Amino acid sequence: MIINPQADRSKPAHEQQDADFVAGIVDQDSSGLTIRGAKMLATAGIMANEVFVTCIQPLQPGDEKYAVSFAVPMNAKGLKILSRKSYEQHAGDEFDYPLSSRFDENDALLYFDDVQVPWERVFIAGDVAMCQTQFHGTPAHVYQNYQAQVRLMVKLRFLTGLARRTADINGTTGFPQVRESLGQIAAEAAMVEAMVTAMERKGRMAGAYFVPDRHTLYAAQVLTQQLYPKVMATLRELAGGGLIMLPSSVADFADPELRSLIERTQQSPAAGSEQKVKFYRLAWDAVGSEFASRHTQYEMFYAGAQFVTKGHSFRTYDWDRALAMVDGQLESYDLPAAAKPQAAE
């Protein structure tokens, strides 16, 4: 839990209308801190045993009470969990929602209603600068986002497989324009895999720990934030009406008359009617369901808005090396003698 809940983003935490809106220190004594307020976004929080709470967003002078870092059990007295709708709970049969029914992470907002945090569980209390240093003065921020790029690499490989299977199911793989789309999405998936490989190859040792290359990581984040919705659009274009021209549910197969109609209307050169419906149910759950929409939103914003990731890229790029090349070229020639001012006789 490292993000403050949305309210008036134009104001720092201490200037919000409700001083206790953002999780912060309301009291402290010899036993520890008392925390009151909200934090987001606890992905898989409802399944966790413990939660790490801090603030990755830049804090301003006056925000000291919100400059905290601690860990507490999820059953701590006063800790309230406000989970979003469970896509798994509402998914129904696994055949209809093969992803939603098995892989929903269930994000949640947590509210700390005067939660007591013992000192032995407190890492930072009231130090604005240290909240940033814990991420960017250590390998923490790289580690947390490196695993996200590995996850995305695998996810894109799966989505690329969906794209190819969609074309096969529809009998369009031989169309030049479809092969062009498949070639594009294959290149994009390979680009992400290459960047993960590069951040590993260019990494370094920090004491006893190996740290992937920071700038390659941040470059990947900038590009993939823009890439994911583009991949979703490509999948939609390849599938067309196949994503929505589906039986209402797997229960339709149990009715002999409906099954007969399904067999006549769900045709494919590469699969039987049941296999075609099964595939498009999987594709819809990856592209168009609530589960799919959440993943698109998550991949676009889990690392922050685009100006945030672009800022990380700006901050970590080797500008000196690039500018040295420019300066080297500028220093390698000069005005020709004939163009220089002539000395007065």
Three-class secondary structure of residue 107 per DSSP? coil
Among residues 244, 220, 238, the alpha carbon closest in space to that of 303 is found at: 220
User: Both tokens of residue 23?
Assistant: 């999780």
Q: For the chain, report the end-to-end CA distance as a whole number of angstroms.
A: 77
> What would the pLDDT profile of 159-206 be if each residue is shown by its tens digit?
999 999 999 999 999 999 999 999 999 999 999 999 999 999 999 999
> What would the pLDDT profile of 38-74 be if each residue is shown by its tens digit?
999 899 999 999 999 999 998 989 999 999 999 999 9
> What would the pLDDT profile of 19-38 be if each residue is shown by its tens digit?
788 999 999 999 999 999 99
Cα radius of gyration (the chain): 26
- Inform me whether the pLDDT recorded for 216 exceeds 80: yes
What pLDDT shows up at residue 342? Answer: 80
Range from 7-16, 116-125, 150-159, 242-251 carrying the lowest mean pLDDT: 7-16
User: Both tokens of residue 255?
Assistant: 């009715």
> What would the pLDDT profile of 122-138 be if each residue is shown by its tens digit?
999 999 999 999 999 99
What pLDDT shows up at residue 328? Answer: 97
> What would the pLDDT profile of 243-267 be if each residue is shown by its tens digit?
999 999 999 999 999 999 999 999 9
> What would the pLDDT profile of 78-112 be if each residue is shown by its tens digit?
999 999 999 999 998 999 999 999 999 999 999 99
Torsion angle, alpha carbons of 156, 179, 227, 102, to 10: -30
Q: What is the DSSP secondary-structure string of 210-275?
A: EE--HHHHHHHHHHHHHHHHHHHHHHHHHHGGGGTS--S-GGGGGSHHHHHHHHHHS--SSS-HHH
Q: Is 112 left (phi over 0), alpha (psi -120 to 50) or beta?
A: beta
What pLDDT shows up at residue 288? Answer: 96
- Inform me whether the pLDDT recorded for 277 exceeds 80: yes
What pLDDT shows up at residue 298? Answer: 92
- Inform me whether the pLDDT recorded for 17 exceeds 80: no
- Inform me whether the pLDDT recorded for 343 exceeds 90: no
What pLDDT shows up at residue 345? Answer: 63
CATH code, residues 13-132? 2.40.110.10
What pLDDT shows up at residue 90? Answer: 92
CA 43: distance to chain centroid? Answer: 11
C-beta of residue 198 within 8 angstroms of C-beta of residue 212? no
Rounded to an integer, what distance in angstroms lies between the CA atom of residue 37 and that of residue 23?
4
The model's pTM: 0.91
What pLDDT shows up at residue 186? Answer: 98
What is the average pLDDT across 263-276? 94
Location of each CATH 1.20.140.10 domain in the chain: 139-317
What is the average pLDDT across 280-295? 96
Location of each CATH 2.40.110.10 domain in the chain: 13-132
What pLDDT shows up at residue 140? Answer: 95
> What would the pLDDT profile of 310-329 be if each residue is shown by its tens digit?
999 999 999 999 999 999 99
Q: Which fold has domain 139-317?
A: Butyryl-CoA Dehydrogenase, subunit A; domain 3 (1.20.140)
Rounded to an integer, what distance in angstroms lies between the CA atom of residue 56 and that of residue 226?
22
φ, ψ of residue 16 in degrees (nearest 5): -65, 155
